[in-house]
Amino acid sequence: MTSIPPELLGAIVAEVTSLSDLLNLRTVNSTLNEFATPLAFRSVSFANGDKSIERFKRISNYPKFAQHIRKVIYQYEEADPSTFVGSFNPHIQTNALGLPEGEPLRQYTLRGFDGIPFLEALSLVSQLPALESLVLTFRSDDGPFKADTEANAPDRNFPTEIILQFLIFRALAELPTGFASPLKSLIIDRFVTLPHPYLESPPILELLSTLTHLTINTTTQSATFPMTDPRMEWTSPPLFQKKALASSLVSLELHHACLRSGNVIVPVSDSSFHLPRLEKLSLQRIYFSKQGDIENFVVRHGKTLVELKLFVCPMALSTDTRQSSRATNSRRWAQVWEHFDRDLKVLRNLVVSEKHDSHGVEDSGLGWYVNNCYRPKVVDLGRVDKEDDESALKRLTKNVESRSP
């Protein structure tokens, strides 16, 4: 081991991608321990189960490991019913989150585990000295909520995932000193589209203010909360106000599990909403329309945008809940592609997928055009429109490719 130059040994260890292999290398000798430890603890994950929380707390409280943590991943985990330590009492009056009236959120014992250690783990995340990236995954998948499908579920009215979502944002909003290290990347995955008063709190605004990358992926609706149903018109303000989106953002990803308006998450219809450093934008299941909200938002960043990805983003021929047939003056994709070609002057990478999402999964319910944005059905326009759309997209693609190195 002593005959190998340290630089070469470090380069060899850097090629190891398996976490179990890195942990094993740490036990070989002190030299490999020094090289493998920073890589083994660069990314740490935890779930809302007791064992996972305790493991994360041990790692975060040990300076030798904590100093190397660059990324923390929270992954929602459904608790084993046999371990439930509390359940809802139907005779106790509850508030909007399903918690007993007058009982502090921090004292509530969530079904399946004690909520206090979970909140302690969240507070440790903010104290990590080298943290750069935070991933919050609020559901295990995008399927129906268990509380909506199981008639005897003890928390039928208030899905655990949603309670945890509010719990996490409230905990972040109550951090006394904010984050020890400015965050560069935040991924909010399988987010339930419900307004959060905590999203406008000073600690969360400060957390968002340093980001260069933001991903917000929304999940399917919950029957408990009708406003999460994409078939209903969204009348609330965007979940993230203009002041919450950092001017430092270089990359923005807005992906939905079902078709939604771009205004649900961020104020794309606000003509003053502009991210001066935005270079990469990825959109999924966000509908375009003759109103041009999302189209104009894209074009507004024409001087900086070098990458644009559109996954299963149809043109809604109608955005009126009372109208089932398409309007005669509805927007065509050929017009959008020409608009992009004219104003996205530095675009070098364009990805457009009509039927497949960002994971390559086909969505047969959507296509280039849908009749209505609330109850969408695929519409096949005439041959002339189709040829115009294809020709305009080819011209745009050719011009974008000509700028590529």
Give residue-wise pLDDT tens across range 222-248.
Answer: 988 888 999 888 888 999 989 999 899
Residue 86 confidence (pLDDT) above 50 = no
* Nearest residue to 373 (alpha-carbon basis) of 287, 291, 254: 287
Higher pLDDT: 227 or 350? It is 350
CB 123 within 8 A of CB 175: yes
Report whether pLDDT(151) > 80: no
Over the chain, what is the mean pLDDT? 85
pLDDT higher at 24 or 278: 278
The share of the chain scoring above pLDDT 90, in percent, equals 53
Q: Which range, 113-117, 124-128, 160-164, 213-217, is most confident?
A: 213-217
197: pLDDT strictly greater than 80: yes
- The mean pLDDT of 338-350, rounded to a whole number, is 96
* In the chain, domain spans: 1-40, 42-403
Q: 149-178: b or e for each residue (b if 16 or more CB lie within 10 Å)?
A: eeeebbbbebbbbbbbbbbbbbbbbbbeee
Q: Cα 390 vs. chain centroid, distance in angstroms?
A: 31
Evaluate if residue 76 carries a pLDDT over 80: yes
Average pLDDT of the segment spanning 277-290: 97
For residue 105, what pLDDT is reported? 39
pLDDT value for 93: 42
The pLDDT, as a whole number, for residue 270 is: 93
pLDDT for position 66 = 92
For 386: left if phi > 0, alpha if psi spans -120 to 50, otherwise beta; the answer is: alpha
pLDDT band per the 50, 70, 90 thresholds, residue 310: very high
Asked whether 305 and 344 are in contact (CB, 8 A), the reply is: yes
* Residue 276 pLDDT greater than 60, yes or no: yes
